[in-house]
Amino acid sequence: MTSSSSPAPRPQWRRILSYAGRYKARLTLAVFAKMVASGIFLALPAMVQYVVDTALATDDLSRLNEMTALLIAAFAVLTCGSVLGNYYTNTTGERIVSDLRVQLYTHLQNLSLRFFTERRVGELISRMTSDVSSIRGLLTTDLTRVLRHVLTISGAAVVMLLLNWRLTAFILLTTPFVVLIGVGLRRFSRQGGLQVQDGYAAATVIAEEGFQNIREVKSFVREPYQVARYTAAIQRTLRAAFRLVRARSFLAPAVDFLFLVNIALIVWYGGHEVVAGRLTRGELVGFLVYVAIVGQMVSELGVVYSQFNETLGATQRIFQILDTPSDVQDAPGAAELARVEGRITFEHVSFHYEDRQPVLQDLSLDIAPGEIVALVGPSGAGKSTVFHLIPRFYDVTDGSVCIDGHDVRDVTQASLRAQVGIVPQETLLFGGTIRENILFGRLDATEAEIIEAAQAANAHDFIMALPDGYATMVGERGARLSGGQRQRVAIARALLKDPRILLLDEATSSLDNESEHLVQEALERLMVGRTTVIIAHRLSTVRVAHRLAVLQAGRIVELGTHDELLALNGLYARLYEMQFREQTLLASNGGG
Question: How many whole angstroms separate alpha carbon 498 and alpha carbon 419?
Answer: 8
531 vs 370: CA distance, rounded Å: 4
Q: Is the pLDDT of residue 218 over 90?
A: no
168 domain-assigned: yes
Query: For residue 325, what is the DSSP state?
Result: P
Beta-carbon contacts of residue 313 (< 8 Å; ≥ 6 apart): 190, 193, 194, 197, 198
User: Pairing relation of β-strands 547-552 and 372-376?
Assistant: parallel
Residues 590 and 486 in one domain: no
Q: Domain range holding 477? A: 426-496
Domain-embedded: residue 12: no
What pLDDT, on the 0 to 100 scale, is given for residue 55?
64
Any domain includes 11: no
Bridge partners (DSSP) of residue 548 are 374, 560
Helix, strand or coil, per DSSP, at residue 349: strand
Q: What confidence tens digit (pLDDT) does each residue in 219-246 have?
A: 777 788 888 888 988 888 888 888 777 7
User: Last residue of a domain, which of 476, 496, 516?
Assistant: 496
| Residues 178 and 296 placed together within one structural domain of the fold | yes
Q: How far apart are CA 55 and CA 571, in angstroms?
A: 107
Residues 298, 153 contacting (CB under 8 angstroms): yes
Q: What is the pLDDT of residue 5?
A: 39
Kind and range of the H or E run holding 156: helix 141-163
Angle at 261 between CA 154 and CA 188, to 5 degrees: 75
Check residue 374 and give its pLDDT: 92
Amino acid at 29: L
DSSP codes joined into one string, 224-239? HHHHHHHHHHHHHHHH
Q: Are residues 91 and 159 in the same domain?
A: yes
Beta pairing, strands 531-535 & 501-505: parallel
Largest separation between any pair of C-alpha atoms in the chain: 120
Q: Are residues 119 and 252 in the same domain?
A: yes
The enclosing H or E element of 438 equals: helix 434-439
The terminus-to-terminus CA distance of the chain in angstroms comes to 73
Is 525's pLDDT higher than 60? yes
Same domain, 210 and 138: yes
199 and 236 share one domain: yes
Is residue 575 situated within a structural domain?
yes
* Mean pLDDT lowest among 184-198, 532-546, 578-592: 578-592
Which amino acid is it at 428? Answer: L
Q: In what order do the strands lie in the sheet with 344-352?
A: 358-367, 344-352, 398-403, 406-407
Domain boundary among 267, 298, 322: 322
402/432 same-domain check: no
Polymer length of the chain = 592
**How many C-beta neighbours within 10 Å does residue 339 have?**
10
Q: What percent of the chain has pLDDT over 90?
A: 19
DSSP classification of residue 433:
B
What confidence tier does 3 reach under pLDDT thresholds 50, 70, 90? Answer: very low
- With a cut of 90, say whether residue 556 has pLDDT above it: yes
Same domain, 281 and 148: yes
The residues, any chain, with a CB within 8 Å of residue 529's CB and separated by 6 or more, are 370
| DSSP 3-state percent helix, strand, coil across the chain (nearest 5) | 70, 10, 20
Q: How confident is the model at residue 435 (pLDDT cuts 50, 70, 90)?
A: very high
Please tell me whether residues 39 and 171 are part of one structural domain: yes
Q: What is the pLDDT of residues 356-388, one digit of tens each?
A: 788 999 999 999 999 999 999 888 889 989 989
Instruction: Give the pLDDT score at 9.
Output: 43
Cα 352 to the center of its chain, rounded Å: 28
Count of structural domains, the chain: 3
SS (H, E, C) 160-215: HHHHCHHHHHHHCCCHHHHHHHHHHHHHHHHHHHHHHHHHHHHHHHHHHHHHHCHH
Per the prediction, the chain carries an average pLDDT of: 81
**Final residue belonging to a domain, choices 322, 342, 364:** 322
3-state secondary structure of 422: strand
User: Can you give the pTM of this predicted structure?
Assistant: 0.68
| pLDDT for 175 beyond 70 | no
Q: How far apart are CA 546 and CA 364, in angstroms?
A: 17
Residues 300 and 449 in one domain: no
What is the spatial distance between Cα 53 and Cα 47, in angstroms, rounded to a whole number? Answer: 10
Return the CATH number at 483.
3.40.50.300
- What CA–CA distance (Å, rounded) separates 350 from 395? 10
